[in-house]
Amino acid sequence: MFGKGILKGLRVTFIRYWNTYWDDIVWLFQGKKRYNTPEGIAHRSSSKTRGIFTVQYPEEKLLLPEEARYIPFLVFNEKPDGGKEVLCTSCGICAKVCPPQCIWIVRSNDPQTGRPVPEPTEFYIDADICMNCGFCAEYCPFDAIKMDHDFEIASYSRNVYNMEKLLKPSSYYQSIRPENFAREEADRKAKEAAKAAKAAGAAAAPAAPAAS
C-alpha cells in the first residue's frame, strides 16, 4: 500500500507524544514531581527516559557529573585564624602545560635574600582564552588548581581572573568534587604517614645508613 511507510513513521511520532504525557501522569499518580526537581531531571536524562527530553534552563539545570570541568580556580585551606593557606607554590607547571597559554604567574621572591618563595604574588587566568582542557588541574603536583563547575560566566567585559577572583576554599572543592577530594586526602595522609614512618625509622637507627 502506498503511504504505509508514512503511516508507520507517524505511529512513531504518536508513540513518542503519548510517552511524554504518559510518564507525567504516572509520576503524578506516584506523587513525585517530574519537573524542577533533581530526581525528575535525573530521570529525564537517564536511558530510561521516553518522550520529551527538554530541561528548562535556567529554571532547571542539568546535573553536572563530578568530572565536569570549566574555568580553573585556585584552592586554599582555611586557617583557624581565618587566614588563607594558598596551596599553589608557583612552580609554573600549569603555565607551561596550558595549551592556549592563558595562565600568568608572578613568583614571589624573598625581599631579603632574593630567593624564590613557594607562593605566587600574582596569578592570572584569562578566562576568555582558556579552552577548559583541564591540563592545569591534571598536572598540578600540589592539587592547588582545580577545574570549576560554574559555567555561567557570561559578562559584558573581558574575563581576566586575578588571585582574588580565583581563590576558592577547599570546602568548596570538596562540595563540587567529593570523590576526588576524598581520594586526594587519602593520598596525602598516606604520604604523610610514610614520611613520618621514614623519619621515625631514621631516628631509631641513625647509625645504620652511615655504616652501609
Partner 1 sequence: MTAPASTLTVDLVARFPGIVTAETRPNFAGFIVEKDKLVEVATAIRDEFGFDLLTAVTGVDYHPENKMEVVYHAYKTTGGPGLVFRVQVPRVDPIEVPSLIEVYPGADLQEREAWDLLGIKFTGHPDLRRILMWEGYEGHPLRKDWREPFYEEEFKPFKSRWPDGKFYMAEEKNPLQDNLKFPQNFDPEKWIPEGDALLYGSLARYTTKDESGMGTDRIVVNMGPQHPSTHGVFRAALTLDGETIVGLKPVVGYLHRNHDKIGERNTYLQNMPFTDRLDYFNSMSNNLGYAIAVEKLMKIQVAERAEYIRVIMAELSRVQNHLVFVGMLLNDLGAMYTPALYAFEERELILDIFEEVSGARMMCNYLRFGGVVRDIQPAAMQKIKNLVFDRLQAKTDEMERFLSENEVLISRLKGVRVVDAETAIKYSVTGPVLRAAGVPYDLRRADPYSVYDRFDFDVCTRQNGDMMDNYLIRIDEIRQSLRILEQAVKQIPEGPINSQKPAYQVRVPAGEAYGRIESPKGELAFYLVSNGKPNPWRYHVRPASFVNITCLDQMCIGTKIADFVALLGMLDIVMGELDR
Check binding of 90 to partner 1 (CB under 8 A).
Answer: yes
Check binding of 117 to partner 1 (CB under 8 A).
Answer: no
Check binding of 118 to partner 1 (CB under 8 A).
Answer: no
Q: Indicate the burial class of 93 (C-beta count within 10 angstroms; 0-12, 13-18, 19 or more).
A: middle
Q: Which of residues 140-159 bind partner 1 (CB under 8 A)?
A: 147, 158
Q: Which of residues 34-63 bind partner 1 (CB under 8 A)?
A: 45-48, 53
Q: Please identify, using beta-carbon distances, which residue of 8 and 79 lies nearer to partner 1.
A: 8
How near is the Cβ of 4 to partner 1 at its closest, in Å? 7
Contact region with partner 1 (CB under 8 A), list: 33-41, 76-84, 130-138, 184-192: 130-138
Contact region with partner 1 (CB under 8 A), list: 22-30, 64-72, 168-176, 201-209: 64-72
Q: Please identify, using beta-carbon distances, which residue of 75 and 103 lies nearer to partner 1.
A: 103
User: From CA 23, how far away is CA 28, in angstroms rounded?
Assistant: 8
Contact (CB, 8 A) for 62 and 41: yes
Contact region with partner 1 (CB under 8 A), list: 78-86, 118-126, 163-171, 196-204: 118-126
State the sign of the Cα–Cα–Cα–Cα dihedral 161, 164, 167, 168: negative
Q: Please identify, using beta-carbon distances, which residue of 26 and 131 lies nearer to partner 1.
A: 131
Q: Which residues bind partner 1 (CB under 8 A)?
A: 2-6, 8-9, 11-13, 16, 45-48, 53, 64-65, 67-69, 90, 92-93, 95-99, 101, 103-107, 116, 122, 124, 126, 131-135, 138-139, 147, 158, 160
